[in-house]
Amino acid sequence: MESSLPDLEAILLVGGQGTRLRPLTLGTPKPLLPTAGVPFLAHQLARARSFGVRRIVFATSYKASMFEPAFGDGSAFGLSLEYITEETPLGTGGAIRNAAEALTSGPDDPVLVLNGDILSGHDIGEQVRLHRAREAAVTLHLTEVVDPSRFGCVPTDDEGRVTAFLEKTPNPVTNRINAGCYVFTRSVIDSIPRGEVVSVERETFPGLIESGRLVLGYATRTYWLDVGTPAAFVQGSRDLVLGRLSSPALPGPPGQYLALDGARVSPDAKVLGGTAVGARAVVEAGATVMGSVLSDDCVIEAGASVIDSVVGQGARVCAGTVVRDAVIGDGAIVGPGNELQHGVRIWPGVELPERALRYSSDV
């Protein structure tokens, strides 16, 4: 597989603030959140490397200074990494144009563009080969979803040519949506105005179609997930731990749970469903943890249940508490006998007294 895309360069868009994932993103940008035991982007970097990508330019904005300490020069991944920061957010097109200053590829070379909040199992090599064979201006990865009304949908003709970009609409004409992975011909990136706020989805792509350039759709039905919400973030980590999506960056074999260095899981605890247990985290006897993300140094006390949730760094879930479909911020303490569910979010450092929050009427 690796020989198929020698010297391919990529731009990785990681400028977003991750507002839908607060409070997890208050201190950490979304692409650095621990996902199946490693920063989210580690999975993308390792996958790109497996398809022959050798050099990646990070387009950063929010908490930009945190990316380089996390990944350095990329040598640990067999990659060469560059970091380009936008002083003010420039939109997707502006960010791609800005990052292109650090590319070394020629005007006719393909450039891969990845979004920092997507998990995808599609064949990047195949997408690039299609782009080259058809001499397209841009080739977009398209995926099929059950409810396309929440996304922009992308109709194509019989030859795979994209015919329109339709913003979110109650009656979509197709269930194929923009999956957020693009192959650009370098000269097309260079034609985006420099230093201006530009959206590729609303301006660049429709403009190319209008001017008769070939914009191709590469449609697949492989694994695809936008991890922008807490529920989706938990699902992504869970799917990686269970091996539903394989990742060269997974720090252990796939299975019911993944425990990082120094984690202590009692033999009398039930930890299942693709749970990630962070470094030095403790799960006591009689606790149940299903399909959740337990961050470093957190404690799940005896008899507590944590299901489909995120527990932040150093947080504590006390005895007998039920946490379901919830986010517990870093350092928060959830006292005994609480019931947290339905997407509730506890901010970092908050301390909930015993039985402060209940959904059931029993005493």
Identify any residues that bridge with 294 across adjacent strands, giving them in sequence order: 277, 311
With contact defined as beta carbons under 8 Å apart, do 67 and 29 qualify? yes
Q: Residue 134 pLDDT more than 70?
A: yes
- Strands 257-259 and 275-277, by their bridges, are parallel
Label each residue of the chain as H, E or C: CHHHCCCEEEEEEECCCCHHHCCCCCCCCHHHCEECCEEHHHHHHHHHHHCCEEEEEEEECCCHHHHHHHHCCCHHHCCEEEEEECCCCCHHHHHHHHHHHHCCCCCCCEEEEEECCEEECCCHHHHHHHHHHHCCCEEEEEEECCCHHHCCECCECCCCEECCCECCCCCCCCCEEEEEEEEEEHHHHHCCCCCCCCCHHHHHHHHHHHCCCCEEEEEECCCEEECCCHHHHHHHHHHHHHCCCCCCCCCCCCCCEEECCCCEECCCCEEECCEEECCCCEECCCCEEECCEECCCCEECCCCEEECCEECCCCEECCCCEEECCEECCCCEECCCCEECCCCEECCCCEECCCCCCCCCCC
Q: Tell me what the mean pLDDT of segment 3-8 comes to.
A: 62
Reported confidence tier of residue 29, pLDDT bands at 50, 70, 90: confident
Q: Does residue 4 have a pLDDT over 80?
A: no
Q: Kindly report the average pLDDT of the chain as a whole number.
A: 90
Q: What is the mean pLDDT of residues 4-25?
A: 80
pLDDT for 145-155, tens place per residue?
888 887 878 99
Task: Please give the model's pTM, rounded to 2 decimal places.
Answer: 0.90
d(CA 18, CA 355): 31
Output 17 or 59, whichever has higher pLDDT.
Answer: 59
Predicted confidence at residue 210, as pLDDT, reads: 93
* Residue predicted with more confidence, 10 or 202: 10
Q: Is-contact 181 106, C-beta < 8 A?
A: no
Confidence category of residue 358, pLDDT binned at 50, 70, 90 = confident
C-alpha to C-alpha distance for 128 and 115, rounded to whole angstroms: 16
Structure token digits, residue 41:
């982007």
> Residue 5: pLDDT above 70?
no
Tell me the mean pLDDT in the region 338-353: 94
pLDDT score of 220: 93
- Name the band, by pLDDT with cuts 50, 70 and 90, for residue 3: very low
Give pLDDT tens digits for 314-328.
999 999 999 999 999
Q: Is the confidence at residue 363, as pLDDT, over 70?
A: no
Share of the chain above pLDDT 90, in %: 67
The model's confidence at residue 77, banded by pLDDT at 50, 70 and 90, is: confident
- Cα angle, residue 111 at apex, residues 108 and 112 outer, rounded to 5°: 155
User: Which of 56-60, 131-135, 226-230 has the highest average model confidence (pLDDT)?
Assistant: 131-135
Q: What's the confidence (pLDDT) of residue 219?
A: 94
Identify the weakest region by mean pLDDT among 5-9, 39-43, 88-92, 279-283. 5-9
Q: Where is average pLDDT lowest: 3-12, 107-116, 293-302, 345-354?
A: 3-12
Report the pLDDT averaged over residues 31-53. Answer: 91
Residue 2: per-residue pLDDT: 38
Per the model's pLDDT, the better-predicted residue between 167 and 113 turns out to be 113
Cα(303)–Cα(161) distance, rounded to whole angstroms?
A: 56
Residue 328 CB-density burial (10 A; 0-12 exposed, 13-18 middle, 19+ buried): buried
pLDDT over 70 (residue 213) = yes
Q: Tell me, what's the pLDDT at 313?
A: 95
Please tell me which residue, 66 or 336, carries the higher pLDDT value. 336
Beta-bridged to residue 307, according to DSSP, are: 290, 324
Least confident of 21-30, 219-228, 276-285: 21-30
